[in-house]
Structure 1
Amino acid sequence: MIRYQEIAESLERGLAAGGGGARAVPSEHDLCERYGASRTTIRAALKQLQERGLIERRQGQGTFYRPRHIAKHLGSLVDFHTEARMAGRVPTTRVLSLRARPATADEAALFGPAAAAGLVDLTRLRGLDDQPAVLQRSRLGLATLGETRDADLENASLYRYLAECRGVQVATVEETLEPWSVSAEEAGPLAIAPGTAVFRSQRVARDADGAVVEVSDNLIRGDIYRFTIHRDVTDAAPGATA
């Protein structure tokens, strides 16, 4: 293997081991000293990482590592746009459809009074650096969402919009993950081939009184996201073992 390729692989392993999120890459001078290599060799290694989308050069700021995956923490209520920016990505949200309809009997029982006037089906496509990442299909009570336009939810957090514009605060979220093989209809917006494996997230959001605010079915590209969970061993039952 050529020397600059060895250095590129070593850098990638070291940066990946540092956890998720964008962070600064050491300067060319520091890398020359670390690897005992010429500046030309270091620049070739950095160019290889840049071509693979693993690092980016920011004018006046330096070079930053961009992890292959965004580490999403289960149980976190950090919104999509904030989470993406924390990882050094550029987030977008596009509304694909927003339509009201009558609630079924089962939906009326689930949503309660919020569904009396009907439900709203909201489908959005979330992107990262102009790449489709998450297809979100949400159901909300028409009384909860109100007279909302597509533009109100473009490049915005749904929960923040509900809190700031509708006075509805999400307090708890229950989320279930499962592997899923996308259909041709689902694959199109995500720009992947039909049959590709993704994460399927089914989520129920409730307010402080336990009333259902939103039910969503989300398809998340596994080549972009990975999920983590944090556990405190001090919360384990006495005598529990791994």
Structure 2
Amino acid sequence: MSSGGRSPATTSAYTELLARLTAGMFKPGSRLPGERALAESLGVSRATLRIGLNRLAEEDWLVPSSKRGWYVRANVVGEPPNTLQSFTEMALERGMTPRSHVLEKTLRPITFDEAKSLQTAPDAQAVELVRVRYLDDVPICYDRTVLVLARARGIDTADMEDRSSTSS
């Protein structure tokens, strides 16, 4: 068993199912293929598959229906593979309304680790933005962004309530 009591096969089944969900292979609200077919396509036993399915249900990706199967939660949102989009672009492309609520916006010195990761001087100034992101008024994520002020002039005074930190 791997850490957390999950076997490599279980982790693999979970990871592959999650990849298929986020890639849009299973449409929101649709029923997944039967367990036997799904287990066969993943190369795992039905017992192993069920562990992965239950984990996805715990994470609100799937909804089990007694004696009917597994259904994709109706408002699952994922980014298309090989596409880099801002949160706002992704939402608008799907006909959803993006919204943010800024919890904290701080101008501060950049940390040593951040300077190394962002390839900037250790004494540079940073803007740290902490916010909750929403799609159609449903909270989707807690977002913490650190920006080098010199690379994003004006970001320290910009209203970031309903704008992506990457859009202008």
Give the number of the structure whose alpha-carbon radius of gyration is greater: 1
TM-score w.r.t. structure 2 length?
0.49
Bigger strand fraction: 1
